[in-house]
Amino acid sequence: MKHHLKEIMTFRKVKINPMQIIGSGLCMLIILFTGYFLDNLLIASFGSLGIFVFLYYQNLPLKNLLTRFSAVSAFIFLSYIVSSLSTHLSWTAPLVVATIGFVGRIFFRLYEITKPGVFFGVMVSAMGVSSKIPLAKLPMMSLFFLLGIALAFLIAIIVHYTEKTPPPVMPQRSLSKRLADDPAVILDGLFYASTLFLAMYLSQSLQLTNPYWFVVSCAAILQGDNLRAMMHRNIQRIFGTTIGLGLSALLLTLPLSTVQTLVAITLLYIIVEYTVRSNYAVANFFITPMALMLSSIMKQQYVTSLLQDRFIGIVLGSLLGVLAAWVMTTGLTFYNKAFQLHETLDKETD
C-alpha cells in the first residue's frame, strides 16, 4: 500500500512547449465562449469534442503534423457520426463501439500515434450511442463538431511555429512493414474490441444514467502499455476520481454564473493538459469536475445523482478493464508457452 501511494504521488518530469498548454486552453476558451455569445451552448458541448484533436499535437514537421491531424480528425468525426446513427438501432451499439475500437486500436498502434491513441474515438462513439440525437439535428451537431476540429487545426499550426527545437525526421514505412514489425497488433485489437463490446453491453444492461462513463473508464485503463501499468492506472483513476468527486461537489454547488462556469472549465482543462503527462492520478482530480461541469451546462440533473453516476461508471469500468487485461495477459502467457512465441499484450514502454 505504501509503495502504491508513493507511486500515485510521484510526478514525472516532462518537457513540453508552454505554448502547447496555452494553445489547449485557447481552444477550449474560444469554443465555449463562441457558444455563449451566440446563445447556443450546443456549440460549446459538441465543439469541445472536436477540440480534443489538439491533444494529439506533437513537434513534427508541418506536413506530418497536418497529415496526422487529418487522419485523427477523420477517425474521431466518423466515429461520432456512425455511433450517433446507430442509436436508431440500439442493439447495434456494442457492435459499433467494438468495431471502432478494433479499427482504431490497430491504426493508431501501427502508425505510432501515441497516447491518447484511439481513446477519444472510443469516447465519442460511447457518447454517440448513449445519446439519441434526432436525424434532423445531426447535421447541425456535426457542424459544431467540425468547428472544434477546425479550431484545433488552427491553434496547432500556430503552436508549431513557436517550437524552438527542430522536429524529428519521420521515417517512411509501408503498411506491410509495420505489420511485420508488430505481429501482435491484430490480436491486441481483437482483445480491445471484445472488452469494449462487453463494457457497452453491460452499461446498457445495467441501465446506467450515463452509460458512456463505464465504457470510457474501461478504455482509459486499457491505455496502459502492460498489465502492471494498467493495474497501476486503475488505482490512480479510482483514487483520482474519488478526490475529483469531492472537488466536483464543491464546484457544482457554488452559485456560479454561466460565464464563471465556462472560465472554470477552461482552467480545469489547462490543468488537466499539464498534469496528465506527469501524474495521471492528480490529473483525475481535475478531469472529473471538468467533465461534470461540461455535462451540467447541458443537462439539468441533480448534483447528487450526477456524482453517483460518475463514480459508479468509473469504478465498474476500471475494474472491468483490469480484469480483461489480466485475462488476456494470462492467456497470452499460456499461448506463448504452447507455441514458443514472444508476443505480449502491448509493447513495453515503462
Q: Give me the domain span that covers residue 100.
A: 17-164+183-339
pLDDT at 343 over 80: no
Mean per-residue pLDDT, 230-254: 82
Mean per-residue pLDDT, 80-100: 87
- In the chain, the number of structural domains is 1
Mean per-residue pLDDT, 114-129: 86
Q: For residue 51, which of 112, 119, 120 has the smallest C-alpha distance? A: 120
**pTM of the full predicted structure?**
0.86
3-class state of residue 183 by DSSP:
coil
Q: Is residue 344 part of a domain?
A: no
Mean per-residue pLDDT, 30-40: 92
d(CA 293, CA 268): 10
* Residue carrying the nine cell digits 453491453: 201
Give 146: exposed, middle or buried? Use CB within 10 Å, 0-12, 13-18, 19+: middle
Q: Is residue 347 part of a domain?
A: no
Contact 252, 306 (CB under 8 A): yes
123-127, 260-264, 335-339: the lowest-pLDDT one? 335-339
pLDDT at 270 over 70: yes
d(CA 246, CA 340): 49
The per-residue pLDDT for 8 is 61
3-class state of residue 224 by DSSP:
coil
pLDDT, tens only, 280-311: 788 888 888 888 888 777 655 445 566 777 78
Half-sphere exposure of 178 (CA within 13 A, CB side): 15
pLDDT at 261 over 60: yes
pLDDT at 4 over 60: no
pLDDT at 31 over 90: yes
The per-residue pLDDT for 106 is 92
The per-residue pLDDT for 151 is 96
Mean per-residue pLDDT, 96-120: 89
Residue 325 — very low, low, confident or very high, per pLDDT cuts 50/70/90? confident
Q: Is residue 169 part of a domain?
A: no
**Grid cell at residue 323:** 480484469
Residue 349 — very low, low, confident or very high, per pLDDT cuts 50/70/90? very low
The per-residue pLDDT for 72 is 94
Contact 220, 101 (CB under 8 A): no
Contact 143, 229 (CB under 8 A): no
The per-residue pLDDT for 233 is 75
For the packed helices 227-253 and 303-339, what is the interaxial angle rounded to 10 degrees? 180
3-class state of residue 122 by DSSP:
helix
Give 297: exposed, middle or buried? Use CB within 10 Å, 0-12, 13-18, 19+: middle
* Residue carrying the nine cell digits 477517425: 75
Q: Is residue 131 part of a domain?
A: yes
Cis peptide before 18 (omega within 30 of 0): no
In the DSSP assignment, the letter for residue 134 is -
Q: Is residue 139 part of a domain?
A: yes
Higher pLDDT, 113 or 229: 113
d(CA 252, CA 304): 10
pLDDT at 52 over 70: yes
Helix ranges, 87-226 (H): 93-110, 119-130, 138-160, 175-181, 185-205, 212-221
3-class state of residue 131 by DSSP:
coil
**Grid cell at residue 83:** 455511433
pLDDT, tens only, 148-159: 999 999 999 999
The per-residue pLDDT for 350 is 40
Amino acid at 23: G
The per-residue pLDDT for 340 is 58
Q: Is residue 136 part of a domain?
A: yes
pLDDT at 331 over 80: no
Q: Is residue 348 part of a domain?
A: no
